[in-house]
């Protein structure tokens, strides 16, 4: 029998080949393991950075929103605004334009009456930072620039007309309200005829219809539909199906309580100091019966030299030609106003006049109670240059027939018509410097449209 014999040299050779194969396999496995580990770490870094970026972006946006709330509800305070938003974490800086010193952006709270813009820069921080050395999403920075009005710091670009539930322009009407706004809180607005509005039109819950040759020489922001026919046009920015990008001040509840008794003739009484909005006025003159033009003039004479209130519980009815001349700031409070004959409102020096129908149901909505009537001008009334008039009523406002009106209007619904001319002049509510926010503390900002928003993340 033949047998194969394996020599020691052959065995050693085969053992060396096996070792090389094992080492090779281990090297390949190590390389594969390193590749998988690297890919895993890279994926972990990318996914964690993406997560961090989302968190930081949300934090930055929260910083913008928090700052907007603070600016519109309290006087500007860099300490408060600079405080980090706790959860999610964000830090904010603000600046304003133009600076009276540099003519460029100034740091901090707005200073000066000429300020027109505010810049908010918010940096948000991720709650969970990126891993595997990827820190690209740990912070995000957003810059937003808004138009700005300042309350309590001099003349401001305020609200020319505020209609709680509808606004309309009929026939030829010229509205001179440059850099100010017509706001409709609820309901539709329309302009049919040859009306021209130099100002902005803002609708928060309704449609805007422009017809014939009606023109808006400002911007129009409409939550509903904007429709135009004829040669009607918006010469500024026109947006529909989106709410205006700034805070709606809301309906301002202005309540007044008549004196307990009305004398048979004008009689001075002390003002109602318990009603904060009326504390500015020093004396009250109640008038029994309907307030005619002659009765109003007697009461105005009695209040000469000091701010005062004329009470007309039975309403105002101007049914004769003439001129009401005032020599101090006066508020006429009545359940209704009618101007049925040609009249003038005048003063030798600059004065303010408030024509007020009390909102007896303060609930942040215009509610025309059962005893109140409308504010109606059906014959030509001219408000001369030295008098700025605030009309306030939760009921309807109708000013027509070639009237020349000057001031502000705050009404349930507002209609202007028949060749009238309306000129905006800021009056404010009694005791307040601006209607932009009502009788609020000095220095509260009223934000206008957002000019821009962008990421500053390279």
171 and 109 within one domain: no
Classify residue 31: in a domain, yes or no.
no
Q: How many helices (H) and strands (E) does the chain have?
A: 3, 30
Give 287-315 pLDDT, tens digit per residue. Answer: 999 999 999 999 999 998 889 999 999 99
Question: Closest by alpha carbon to 293, among 242, 244, 346, 366?
Answer: 346
- Residue 85's pLDDT is what? 60
Is residue 202 within 8 A of residue 223, CB to CB? The reply is no
Mean pLDDT computed over 81-108: 75
- Residue 154's pLDDT is what? 29
Question: Closest by alpha carbon to 228, among 259, 199, 201?
Answer: 201
Classify residue 218: in a domain, yes or no.
no
For the chain, how many residues are written? Answer: 458
- Residue 437's pLDDT is what? 34
Give 5-24 pLDDT, tens digit per residue. Answer: 555 555 555 656 677 777 77
Q: Which residues contact residue 22 at a Cβ distance below 8 angstroms, ignoring those fewer than 6 apart?
A: none
- Residue 292's pLDDT is what? 96
Mean pLDDT of the chain: 82
Classify residue 222: in a domain, yes or no.
no
- Residue 157's pLDDT is what? 47
pLDDT: which is higher, 152 or 132: 132
Separation between Cα atoms, residue 57 and residue 69, nearest integer Å? 19
Mean pLDDT computed over 365-379: 89
- When mean pLDDT is compared across 263-267, 302-306, 375-379, 392-396, the lowest value belongs to 263-267
Give 435-457 pLDDT, tens digit per residue. Answer: 443 323 334 456 666 778 899 98
59-to-128, 130, 171 alpha-carbon distances in Å: 12, 15, 51
- When mean pLDDT is compared across 185-194, 258-267, 397-406, the lowest value belongs to 258-267
Classify residue 105: in a domain, yes or no.
yes
For tokens 């429709």, name the residue.
Answer: 227
Express as a percent the part of the chain with pLDDT over 90.
42
Mean pLDDT computed over 145-163: 63
- Residue 206's pLDDT is what? 96
- Residue 245's pLDDT is what? 67
112 and 181 within one domain: no
Classify residue 99: in a domain, yes or no.
yes
Sign of CA dihedral 301, 306, 312, 318: positive
Classify residue 196: in a domain, yes or no.
no
- Residue 65's pLDDT is what? 86
270 and 132 within one domain: no
Is residue 262 within 8 A of residue 400, CB to CB? The reply is no
Residue 403 confidence class, pLDDT cut points 50, 70, 90: very high
396 and 300 within one domain: yes
393 and 310 within one domain: yes
- Domain hosting residue 123, numbered range: 42-153+446-455
360 and 289 within one domain: yes
Classify residue 217: in a domain, yes or no.
no
Residue 153 confidence class, pLDDT cut points 50, 70, 90: very low
Give 77-93 pLDDT, tens digit per residue. Answer: 666 666 566 666 888 98
179 and 88 within one domain: no
384 and 282 within one domain: yes
397 and 298 within one domain: yes
Question: Closest by alpha carbon to 335, among 373, 292, 362, 285?
Answer: 373
299 and 413 within one domain: yes
Burial of 147 (0-12, 13-18, 19+ CB in 10 A): middle
Classify residue 426: in a domain, yes or no.
yes
Total number of domains constituting the chain: 2
Mean pLDDT computed over 39-47: 70
Separation between Cα atoms, residue 435 and residue 433, nearest integer Å? 7
Direct distance between the N- and C-terminal alpha carbons of the chain, in angstroms, rounded to an integer? 87
Neighbours of 264 (CB within 10 A): 8
Separation between Cα atoms, residue 264 and residue 190, nearest integer Å? 45
365 and 291 within one domain: yes
357 and 376 within one domain: yes
């Amino acid at each position: 029998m033949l047998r194969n014999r394996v020599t020691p040299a052959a065995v050693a050779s085969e053992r060396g080949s096996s070792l090389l194969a094992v080492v090779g396999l281990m090297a390949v496995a190590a390389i594969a393991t390193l590749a998988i580990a690297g890919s895993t770490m890279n994926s972990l870094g990318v996914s964690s950075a993406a997560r961090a970026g989302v968190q930081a972006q949300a934090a930055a946006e929260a910083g913008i929103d928090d700052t907007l709330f603070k600016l519109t509800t309290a006087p500007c305070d860099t300490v408060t605004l600079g405080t980090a938003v706790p959860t999610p974490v964000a830090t904010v800086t603000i600046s304003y334009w133009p600076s009276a010193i540099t003519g460029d952006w100034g740091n901090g709270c707005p200073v000066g009456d000429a300020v027109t813009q505010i810049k908010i820069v918010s940096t948000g921080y991720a709650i969970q930072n990126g891993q595997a050395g990827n820190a690209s999403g740990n912070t995000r920075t957003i810059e937003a620039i808004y138009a700005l009005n300042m309350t309590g710091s001099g003349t401001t670009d305020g609200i020319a007309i505020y209609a709680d539930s509808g606004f309309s322009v009929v026939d030829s009407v010229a509205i001179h309200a440059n850099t100010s706004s017509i706001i409709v809180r609820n309901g539709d607005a329309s302009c049919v005829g040859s009306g021209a509005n130099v100002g902005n039109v803002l609708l928060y819950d309704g449609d805007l219809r422009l017809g014939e040759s009606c023109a808006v020489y400002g911007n129009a922001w409409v939550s509903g539909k904007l429709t135009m026919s004829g040669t009607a046009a918006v010469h500024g920015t026109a947006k529909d199906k989106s709410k205006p990008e700034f805070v709606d001040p809301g309906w301002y509840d202005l309540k007044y309580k008549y004196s307990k008794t009305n004398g048979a003739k004008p009689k001075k009484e002390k003002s109602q100091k318990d009603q904060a909005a009326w504390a500015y006025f020093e004396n009250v003159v109640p008038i029994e019966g309907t307030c005619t033009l002659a009765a109003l003039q007697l009461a105005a004479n009695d209040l000469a030299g000091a701010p005062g209130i004329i009470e007309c519980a039975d309403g105002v009815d101007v049914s004769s030609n003439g001129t009401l001349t005032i020599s101090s700031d006066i508020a006429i409070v009545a359940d209704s106003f009618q101007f049925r004959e040609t009249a003038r409102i005048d003063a030798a020096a600059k004065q303010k006049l408030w024509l007020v129908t009390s909102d007896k149901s303060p609930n942040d909505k215009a509610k025309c109670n059962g005893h109140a009537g409308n504010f109606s001008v059906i014959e030509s009334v001219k408000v001369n240059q030295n008098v700025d008039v605030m009309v306030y009523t939760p009921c309807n406002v109708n000013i027509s027939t070639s009237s020349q009106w000057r001031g502000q209007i705050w009404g349930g619904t507002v209609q202007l018509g028949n060749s009238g001319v309306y000129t905006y002049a800021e009056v404010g509510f009694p005791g307040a410097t601006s209607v932009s926010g009502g009788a609020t503390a000095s220095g509260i900002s009223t934000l206008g449209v957002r000019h821009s928003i962008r990421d500053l993340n390279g």
